């Protein structure tokens, strides 16, 4: 099972390390054609506007839409969550528009207001260590979106079918359980991928 990490910006090596700790093969994705080799994809943190521009420039916007449209799972963390959203507060245009949710950028303040906390995630037994850095939050979700976690009354993790989003950086800890959760989603999707549904 191959899970790629989009390597336009962000903590790519850290995601690869935890993908492999979770038992899958990690692939650094720099070229559009690499998507064809993958069973799942992680869009890491960084600056969502910059990543969005680079995705448009290199054809990843349509490529990832097609990838997700074929039933292959996608996991967005921090800026990746913003890129998945159907609507971004204060912004006319969203990016991938794959998940039925409205997000607020930098909802938890500036870099110096970063923090760590333990979060209970639906589907994971023990609380997960979460690192918030200029993190977004999910303001609204549609009917098909399952809220996996809230922090201080705001949604910080959600799932819509084969799409997963988290406000925080799970890759900046030694806890691979969010990556294992995503790897399990990829495993579940493999029969449907094989049948072309």
Catalytic sites, residue numbers: 78, 169, 171
Instruction: Give the tokens for residue 80.
Output: 């990746």
Q: What share of the chain is helix, strand, coil (3-state, %, to 5)?
A: 35, 30, 35
**Which residues have a Cβ under 8 Å from the Cβ of 33 and sit 6 or more positions away?**
none
Work out whether strand 115-119 and strand 128-132 pair parallel, antiparallel, or are unpaired. antiparallel
CA pair distance 188, 182, nearest whole angstrom: 10
Angstrom CA distances, 178 to 13, 29, 88, 148, stand at 16, 20, 24, 11
Do residues 10 and 45 make contact, with C-beta atoms less than 8 angstroms apart?
yes
Q: Single out the residue of 115, 152, 155, 157 nearest to residue 133, CA to CA.
A: 115
């Amino acid at each position: 099972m191959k899970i790629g990490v989009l390597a336009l910006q962000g903590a790519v090596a850290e995601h690869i390390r935890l993908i492999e700790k979770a038992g899958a093969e990690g692939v650094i994705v720099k070229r559009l054609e690499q998507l064809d080799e993958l069973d799942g994809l992680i869009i890491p943190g960084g600056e969502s506007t910059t990543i969005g521009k680079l995705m448009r420039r290199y054809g990843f916007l349509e490529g990832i839409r097609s990838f997700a449209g074929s039933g292959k799972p996608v996991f967005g963390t921090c800026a990746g969550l913003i890129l998945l959203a159907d609507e971004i507060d204060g912004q006319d245009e969203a990016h991938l528009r794959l998940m039925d949710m409205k997000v607020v950028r930098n909802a938890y303040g500036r870099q110096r207001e970063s923090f760590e906390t333990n979060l209970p995630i639906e589907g994971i037994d023990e609380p997960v260590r979460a690192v918030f850095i200029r993190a977004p939050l999910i303001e609204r979700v549609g009917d098909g979106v399952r809220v996996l976690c809230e922090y201080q009354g705001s949604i910080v993790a959600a799932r819509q079918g084969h799409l997963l989003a988290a406000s925080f950086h799970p890759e900046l800890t030694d806890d691979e359980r969010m990556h294992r959760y995503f790897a399990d989603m990829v495993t579940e999707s493999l029969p449907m991928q094989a049948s072309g549904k």
